[in-house]
Amino acid sequence: MAKGCNITGELQLACDIQVDGIIEGKLRLEKTLVVSNSGRLKGEIYADKIIVNGLVEGTCYANAIEILDKGKVTGTIYCDDLSIERGGCFLGSTYPAEKEQVITLEPKDKASAKKMNSEPKAVNE
């Protein structure tokens, strides 16, 4: 998302995203969120991994969170793998990850079809 762009609302993405602009609302990602130096996020964030070099304010649910040297996070973090570089700032509370909170956007029907198709098959010799 380009610098100068402002988005308000709820976003659901199955891919990585880098935020250079401003997002306010709820953001759900299956993969990695990168908040660049000019990026600003306010709201609720669900992602596999969050890398912050800008400003994040709100509640973050992730498997891993990295706050880089110019990053600032204010709020609540639910994560088991938190790292903060020298110069990075975190103001708030941190709690262990709630496994139910980190989401997958894949429909249930598709997921059960994959499980059925992934069973080992006999090979005729």
Residue 119 to residue 45: CA distance in whole angstroms: 34
- pLDDT, one tens digit per residue, over 2-57 is 777 888 999 999 999 999 999 999 999 999 999 999 999 999 999 999 999 999 99
Residue 103 has pLDDT above 90, yes or no: no
Asked whether the whole model's pTM tops 0.85, one would answer no
